[in-house]
Amino acid sequence: MKTTAWKTLWIMGLFLVAIFLPQCRTQPAEEEASLSQGKVKMDLFKEDFGRLPDGTPVELYTLNNSHGLRARIMTYGAIVVSLEVPDRDGNLADITLGYDSLDGYLETTPYFGAVVGRYGNRIAKAKFTLDGVEYTLAANNGENHLHGGLKGFDKVMWAAEPVREEAAVGVKLSYLSPDGEEGYPGNLSCVVTYWITEDNELKITYQATTDKATPVNLTHHSYFNLAGQGRGDILGHELILEADRYTPVDEGLIPFGELRPVAGTPFDFTSPHTIGARIAQVHGGYDHNFVLRSGGGEPARVAQVFEPTSGRVMEVFTTEPGIQFYTGNFLDGSITGKVGRVYNKYYGFCLETQHFPDSPNQPDFPSTILRPGETYQTLTVYKFSIRE
């Protein structure tokens, strides 16, 4: 009898461990907690995040620094699933829009948190001519091509490996885009690495090589709300953009080719303005490429956003010549995001570092053509701080 009792207790103990141990390993996406400085360490770990319909397993990497900054990144779409940042009181909130589980990302979704490519933004009439050959791409935005087509880089599986530096932890994601994918020429080998640094940065590096000339314009498509995802609109956020010009667009959001001064227009964020102060003067809301003063090449600070209720500040640094400022104009309340929160119009903003839209058809824009023997290499950093 004693032996049977001990076996029963042992089995019950294993059962309880199996139930409660996974729950102790991760925290819910929207859990808020006060930071205990010095008790949180820089670390990363991997876990399962479900399976694709064909059975392919999806991995989720969690990256932490010692100050409480935490990113969760999955191998499907190289998507940032969440980004938790402390406010002025030390409370964490997830500041990116998205879903609690993989299922949401497998439905029709507006690129929440994804790497987009081969070509971020639009290519007019889904066509371009390169070295005398006309290429036809997938038309997935009316007659135009948007963010890589019907199955862009946001909808493919990336191979992943954890990486570490002295003051950063990261995940290196790789994908080989085959010749002809979505109409693009050449086999394009891509590597995107996300880092969480001890300087409270989400740092993203992009590299690519090709065996045939092809356009390349990779970017990151998180929707930010510095008050916390699903907690109202972003119209009260204060924005600075280091850009004296922008590229005006037609009804299909294709640039005319003009670089127009922002001075005296609702597009002038060279001094701080709230996002909502003049948005009613912009047909449909902001969804425009800004021509950065830095011109690209060397890393430079190109944007700053301040949210007054939380005190959170986000600065953007990049080597790219342009940035797409988008205010979530197409969010309409039909999407239920993380922890059941509904995403209405203007509930998130994007700052997508990039080359300009439709550059393959605009000879006066900076070139996006990558050729064999060359390496595409860009850097973007989102840096977080607090303002009292």
Dihedral sign from CA coordinates of 336, 340, 343, 344: positive
End-to-end, the C-alpha distance of the chain in Å comes to: 66
In this structure, is the dihedral angle defined by the CA atoms of residues 182, 224, 63 and 72, taken in order, positive or negative? negative
Tokens representing residue 25 in the block: 């390993």
Distance CA 126, CA 30 (A): 39
Catalytic choice (84, 238, 307, 352): 352
Question: From the candidates 67, 145, 220, 221, which is the catalytic residue?
Answer: 221
Could you confirm whether 221 is annotated as catalytic? yes
Structure token pair of residue 172 = 């290196």
Please tell me the distance from the alpha carbon of residue 147 to that of residue 352, in angstroms, as a whole number: 11
Do residues 122 and 116 make contact, with C-beta atoms less than 8 angstroms apart?
no
d(CA 256, CA 40): 50
What residue has token string 């973007």?
A: 380
| Three-state secondary structure call for residue 343 | strand
The number of residues in the chain equals: 388
Element spanning 10, H or E: helix 2-25
Q: How far apart are CA 171 and CA 78, in angstroms?
A: 10
Q: Catalytic annotation on 182?
A: no
Beta bridge partners of 370: 214
* Residues contacting residue 253 through CB under 8 Å, at least 6 positions apart: 122, 144, 287, 357
**Residues with catalytic annotation?**
221, 352
